[in-house]
Amino acid sequence: MDKLISKPAGVVLASTIGTAIGITSTIVAILGLVLVPIAQEFNLPRTSISFVFFILAICSALIYPVIGHLADKYGARIVILIGHLVFVAALFAVSLTRNITEFYAAFVFAGLSGSVLGPILFTKIIAGWFDRYRGFFLGIISGVGYGVGSTLMPLFAVFVLKGNDWRTTYQAIALLVLVIGLPAIFLFLKNPPDPLPPKTHMRKKGVAEIPGLLLREAIRTRAFWMVLLAISVCSGCMLAVFTHIVPILMDRGFAVTSATSVLSIFALFTVFGQIGTGFLLDHFRKPNLIAPFFFIPVLGLPLLMTASQSSTLLLAGALMGLGMGTEFGLLPFCLSRYFGLKAYGKISGLIYGIIALTNGFFPVLMDVAFDLGGSYVMAINIVIGIMIGGTLLIAFLPDFSAVSRLYLAPEKRS
């Protein structure tokens, strides 16, 4: 198999597929489609169903530091393989639930296992394999993975939902995740070699120790807290909007097919946001240049709430997708460039764990606002304000060299 595809290319392929079948596309992008029928079947308000996002957030926050530590110690590949199989079983278990208690329990199962297919382990592998074009390949696996996965999975779910219920839909998704994911991960995903082989655009040989800061050193830097705050709140806001596009537009009178089209465009344009972010960072190495892209969703959000034409709604989805793609594209690059790879698993585990909380809590707040006021208008206005604040934080990020010199010159470290 290595004769047909090089190891670095295989790693990129497997990582892209792995992210495409993770929680974002199989649960987050889907729940908005089945939110109303599940709430109706269990005779519960929407907030009770969207509480699943908070469950996933708590599970991810708890498990991210654990899987980051395990990956640092044993390698990411074995952790991903085991997590993938457990996640398939969890998705199938969702379809068998008979009440809200079992429904929540199944998503605890899904949250713990599905987090293994999240950003920490795949970005750790890619950052270990590539140096010169690290941003581009991080953008590829995240952008194409999350973007294409979140674009196609809702379309697949809508196809299955025609003539079937939401339970059958989750069973079909579980089977798809197994059939697509297992061969790719098992055959092509490889841990970064040490020493690294030549001719793969990787980091230079001859380094006695993997450079980087320890977790306790990283949290003492200004960059750590600025990145954490900006991306946690902005990604939480945009994910809340993403998961509610279908109910927002259906409440405005649009058909589910039209709403799903906007959702798919939103997801698709995250691809361009993440790849574009990686390309710019590879070439300019200045994170504050990305700030304007954080502001782009502010232009799309009012269109989502007021536009009456499909073309304008699709434009809104594209603008919001570019913004969310930028957020997720910036994070792994910043972590590897600011703090190095020495403790990447632990540092990213902590940061992604906190981000998981905001990504789970903010969607629930959207439905709390709906249940209290009967619309999402107030929540969208708050999101606009938060996005403006996050843009300002990114605009004042320090250069990568201001932090990386701490581990490039170990003798100066305390």
Query: Where are the chain's structural domains?
Result: 7-202+209-412
CA distance 112 to 58: 9
Residues 6+ apart with CB under 8 A from 122: 15, 18, 19, 76, 80, 141, 145
Angle at 345 between CA 341 and CA 351, to 5 degrees: 105
Q: Residue 207's pLDDT is what?
A: 41
For residue 205, the model assigns a pLDDT of 44
First to last CA, the chain: 48
Residues 6+ apart with CB under 8 A from 177: 21, 26, 84, 87, 88, 91
Residue closest to 194 by CA, chosen among 180, 208, 215, 176: 208
Q: What is the pLDDT of residue 413?
A: 45
pTM of the predicted model as reported, rounded to 2 decimal places:
0.68
Quote the distance between the C-alpha of residue 8 and its chain's center.
Answer: 22
pLDDT at 385: 93
> How many other C-beta atoms can be found within 10 angstroms of the C-beta atom of residue 265?
21
The pLDDT of residue 414 is 39
Question: Tens of pLDDT along the chain (414 residues)?
Answer: 545 567 877 888 888 888 888 888 888 778 777 877 888 788 877 777 878 877 888 888 888 888 888 887 787 888 888 889 999 999 999 888 888 888 889 989 898 888 888 777 887 888 787 877 777 777 777 777 777 787 788 888 888 888 788 889 889 999 999 998 888 888 888 877 764 444 444 444 444 456 778 888 888 888 899 999 999 999 889 888 987 888 888 888 888 788 888 888 887 888 788 788 877 887 777 888 888 888 999 999 999 888 888 889 999 999 999 888 888 778 877 887 888 777 777 787 788 878 878 877 787 788 788 878 778 888 898 999 999 999 999 999 888 777 766 665 544 443
Please give the biggest Cα pair distance in the chain: 67
Question: CA 251, CA 234: separation in Å to the nearest integer?
Answer: 24
Regarding the domain delimited by 7-202+209-412, which CATH topology (the fold level of the hierarchy) does it fall under?
A: Growth Hormone; Chain: A; (1.20.1250)
Q: Residue 5: what pLDDT?
A: 66
